[in-house]
């Protein structure tokens, strides 16, 4: 008679590399969420004890209730906007993410976006590719060094961005939930006031109802015709219709976005603007960073189930 499998059941809501899947299989019974039909879900309902998700995954209260044995949700990435954290807390479900390992990569990408937007790197690249240099010089771009940066959300990522910007002799100001006593940067208690005082407005805030549409027409008007907006926080923070209007009317000079309101759908009008730089939510996506996030998520799962020693 075959002994029952004592490994915890793990639901893979996101695909994982074969190497990680193989390691996880040693300690967990794995189920790919995408491949389960209704009957299989019903059969597994009382067995699945953990979920492995990514930062774009959505796990609602209703979904949690379908898995009554669920005790942990592990998120590969920083964002947990799609996870109903209140519902998880009410049901005693632990939710863990991997925020620390991607901070430096996201900060690097933020400066790259800002440099690309101010120095018109993408436009100049196309200028050369299309042979337009033969017809004359490319128009001047904006100076980057020695300008003023305002950071919306001075957490881990915002702080890392500030450190990098200071190497370019850029002065830093910020706003957020509260004044921070451990930094010397100038504080503004509202986003419009901050926008009016800077050249570059960098959004590093978290998503959610509190920041929904925070960067609106008023903020963009305050930023002004020489201002540049960068968003690496969440797409929901920026009013995309207001941003489109501001870029078309040159209310602001340029924008650079890594996140969007309805990813991966990006409005055609926004994609076709000449004064914008767009990347596909890839700020944390480096080979090294992805590997570190996978390792951390795996360790969190093993720790939760008391399997770290057996893994070692």
Residue 265 confidence (pLDDT) above 50: yes
Q: What angle do CA 256, 260, 264 make, to 5 degrees?
A: 120
2 domain-assigned: no
- The pLDDT, as a whole number, for residue 155 is 93
Residue 154 confidence (pLDDT) above 70: yes
Q: What backbone phi and psi angles, to 5 degrees, belong to 276?
A: -140, 150
Same domain, 137 and 50: no
Residue 219 confidence (pLDDT) above 90: yes
- The pLDDT, as a whole number, for residue 3 is 58
Same domain, 256 and 132: yes
Residue 9 confidence (pLDDT) above 70: yes
- The pLDDT, as a whole number, for residue 73 is 96
Q: What are the tens digits of pLDDT across the range 174-183?
A: 999 889 989 9
Residue numbers of the domain that contains 48: 9-97+288-311
Same domain, 92 and 126: no
Give the chain's end-to-end CA distance (angstroms, integer): 30
Residue 40 confidence (pLDDT) above 80: yes
- The pLDDT, as a whole number, for residue 208 is 83
Residue from 168, 176, 178, 177 nearest 200 by CA: 168
Residue from 142, 162, 164 nearest 151 by CA: 162
Same domain, 48 and 128: no
Residue 67 confidence (pLDDT) above 70: yes
State the Rg of the chain over Cα: 22
* Residue spans of alpha helices (H) in the chain: 18-25, 38-44, 61-65, 85-90, 103-119, 121-129, 156-166, 191-196, 217-223, 240-248, 268-271, 287-304, 308-311
Angstrom distance (rounded) from CA 165 to CA 228: 14
Same domain, 91 and 227: no
In the chain, % of residues over pLDDT 90: 83
The residues, any chain, with a CB within 8 Å of residue 94's CB and separated by 6 or more, are 71, 72, 73, 88, 304
Q: CATH no. for residue 157?
A: 3.40.50.720
Residue from 200, 204, 217, 213 nearest 255 by CA: 200
Range 236-263 average pLDDT:
97
The residues that are catalytic are: 234, 263, 281
Same domain, 219 and 164: yes
Q: What are the tens digits of pLDDT across the range 48-58?
A: 999 999 888 89
- The pLDDT, as a whole number, for residue 1 is 46
91 domain-assigned: yes
Same domain, 292 and 169: no
Torsion 210-212-217-220 (CA) sign: positive
- The pLDDT, as a whole number, for residue 239 is 97
Into how many domains does the chain fold? 2
Same domain, 193 and 120: yes
Same domain, 155 and 74: no
Residue 2 confidence (pLDDT) above 60: no
Asked if 269 contacts 244 with a C-beta cutoff of 8 angstroms, the reply is: yes
Range 247-267 average pLDDT:
96
Could you tell me which residue, 108 or 264, shows the higher pLDDT?
108
Same domain, 225 and 139: yes
Mean pLDDT computed over every residue of the chain: 93
Residue 264 confidence (pLDDT) above 50: yes
Rounded to two decimals, the pTM is 0.86
Angstrom distance (rounded) from CA 296 to CA 100: 10
Ordered DSSP codes for 219-267? HHHHH-TT-EEEE-S-GGGB-HHHHHHHHHTTSSSEEEES--TBTTB--
- The pLDDT, as a whole number, for residue 5 is 78
Least-confidence region, from 119-133, 217-231, 283-297: 283-297
Q: What are the tens digits of pLDDT across the range 155-211?
A: 999 999 999 999 999 999 999 988 998 999 999 999 999 999 999 999 999 888 899
Range 3-26 average pLDDT:
89
Angstrom distance (rounded) from CA 4 to CA 237: 49
3 domain-assigned: no
The residues, any chain, with a CB within 8 Å of residue 81's CB and separated by 6 or more, are 55, 206, 207, 208, 234, 236
Q: Please name the residue that has the structure tokens 């926008």.
A: 195
């Amino acid at each position: 008679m075959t002994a029952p499998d004592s490994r915890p059941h793990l639901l893979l809501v996101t695909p994982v590399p074969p190497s990680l899947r193989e390691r996880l299989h040693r300690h967990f019974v794995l189920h790919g969420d995408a491949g389960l039909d209704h009957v299989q879900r019903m059969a597994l309902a009382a067995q699945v004890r953990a979920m492995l998700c990514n930062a774009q995954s959505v796990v609602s209260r209703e979904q949690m209730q379908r898995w009554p044995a669920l005790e942990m949700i592990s998120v590969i990435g920083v964002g947990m906007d799609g996870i109903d954290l209140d519902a998880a807390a009410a049901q005693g479900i632990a939710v863990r993410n991997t925020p620390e390992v991607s901070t430096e990569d996201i900060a690097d990408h933020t400066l790259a976006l800002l440099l690309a937007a101010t120095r018109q790197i993408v436009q100049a690249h196309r200028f050369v590719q299309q042979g337009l240099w033969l017809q004359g010089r490319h128009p001047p771009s904006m100076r980057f060094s020695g300008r003023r940066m305002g950071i919306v959300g001075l957490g881990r990522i915002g702080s890392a961005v500030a450190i990098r910007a200071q190497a370019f002799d850029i002065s830093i100001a910020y706003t957020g939930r509260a004044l921070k006593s451990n930094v010397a940067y100038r504080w503004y208690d509202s986003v419009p006031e901050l926008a009016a005082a800077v050249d570059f407005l960098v959004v590093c805030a978290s998503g959610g109802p509190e920041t929904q549409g925070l960067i609106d027409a008023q903020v963009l008007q305050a930023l002004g015709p020489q201002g540049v907006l960068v968003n690496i926080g969440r797409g929901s923070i920026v009013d995309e219709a207001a941003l489109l209007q501001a870029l078309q009317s040159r209310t602001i000079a340029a924008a650079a976005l890594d996140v969007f309101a309805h990813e991966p759908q990006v409005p055609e009008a926004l994609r076709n603007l000449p004064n914008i730089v767009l990347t596909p939510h890839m700020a944390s996506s480096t080979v090294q960073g992805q590997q570190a996030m996978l390792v951390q998520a795996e360790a969190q799962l093993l720790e939760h189930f008391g399997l770290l020693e057996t893994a070692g």
